[in-house]
Structure 1
Amino acid sequence: MSEHKDNQQNSKDMNDRYVTLVDDQGNEELYQVLFTFDSEDYGKSYVLLYPASAKEDEEVEIQAFSFKPDENGDVAEGDLYPIEDDDEWNMVEEVLNTFINDDGTDY
């Protein structure tokens, strides 16, 4: 996983399945939501994203953030928050690895 990009913004599109990340230079990139999950241990919701422009067999960097869900529990027009705690990162990576192993898909 990579470091987060500063000044994250998201745009509502196709049932909130896409998020636009804006880096500190103002460059925008569209990401697709891989999945979201909640952690009781940290009391947060998390979203994992991958570049929307990625080809099916292309290796990509997964971006992960915590977020405040909307009333439907989705990533909406709200803010994404960087994951800065090492233990929290480890938990997110474990969830991602479980997802990849269960799904059989390489991201």
Structure 2
Amino acid sequence: MAEENKTIAVTDDEGNEHLLDILFTFDLEQTGHSYMVLTSAGEQQDEEEEEEEEEIEVYAFRYEEKDGEDAEQALYPIESDEEWDMVEEMIETLSAEDQI
């Protein structure tokens, strides 16, 4: 797992740009892919909010790093239920460890 503390811009299917904070990335041996977990920019909880146990909405994508000047990352949707189950389990495990 790698913690990023970085904000990226993601364009949706309708051409709208959204700023998202990278919570963490991880690899799954079972799928051979890397995954990125994001939340809307500015929605990460600080320590006082964590005590209130508010949930934040997170998004997960499969990603591949592309070589280039800015080392872009290409995000892809997670399509199969089996892959979602594995990703969700990893998110829950990492979230419990980091108390996102």
**TM-score normalised by L of structure 2:** 0.74
Give RMSD over aligned pairs: 2.1
How do 1:25-40 residues align onto structure 2 when only pairs under 5 Å count?
25-40=14-29
Cα distance in structure 1, aligned partners of 2:66 and 2:18: 22
Aligned pairs, how many? Answer: 87
Q: Which has the higher strand share?
A: 2
Q: Which runs of 4+ in 1 moved over 2 A?
A: 55-60
Percent identity among equivalent residues?
A: 44
Structure 1 gaps of 5+ residues are: 1-14
Equivalent residue in structure 1 for 2:60, among 57, 64, 71:
64
Which TM-score applies when normalising by structure 1?
Answer: 0.70
Where in structure 2 are there 5+ consecutive unaligned residues? none
Larger helix proportion, structure 1 or 2? Answer: 2
Higher RCO, 1 vs 2 (CA within 8 Å, ≥6 residues apart): 1
Larger Rg: 2
Match of 1:11 in 2: none
